[in-house]
Amino acid sequence: MPAAGFWAIVLAPQMHFFRMRVPIFLICLILSLTSFNARAANARSGQVTHIILFWLKRPGNVDDQNVLLRGLRTLRRVRGVNDVRVGRPLLVDRPGLEQSFDLGVVVIFRDREALEKFERDPRRGGALDAMLQQLVRRYTVYNFANE
């Protein structure tokens, strides 16, 4: 028997086993990723996104922007807040795009109840309102439920 024929006979069952393991592994991987994505979507469902755009009393004043940025970043410590993103407008040459604001914040709350509790909290109201009164001329709030 030639040497090549011997190894073909010895390795054939192992190669068949290996060829079967790869598709099984890929199927398991796809199912686990699908399950993970479904769990992630369910976790986001019910969250509330709270967006605020701020126009400062002194538009473009970097010191005022920095004070407000530092204050807004403290929202990360609020119970029921999952994420906070704060930033300045991204200036883009596109007609009709709102870019006149000085700062924006996006706060993701765990659910509607967490947002409502945050809005009713007198400690938050006093400290935040005092800072806003000094720096902010106007602000606009948008809320929506994540799906």
- The sheet that has 48-56: what strands, in order across it? 81-87, 103-109, 48-56, 136-145
77-125 tens-digit pLDDT:
888 999 999 999 988 888 888 889 999 999 999 999 999 998 888 776 6
52, 71: one domain:
yes
In whole angstroms, give the CA distance from residue 13 to residue 74.
62
The CATH number given to whatever domain includes residue 110 is 3.30.70.100
Residue 42 pLDDT class (50, 70, 90 cuts): very low
Determine phi and psi for 27, rounding to 5 degrees.
-65, -45
Count the domains in the chain: 2
pTM value is 0.66
68, 118: one domain:
yes
54, 25: one domain:
no
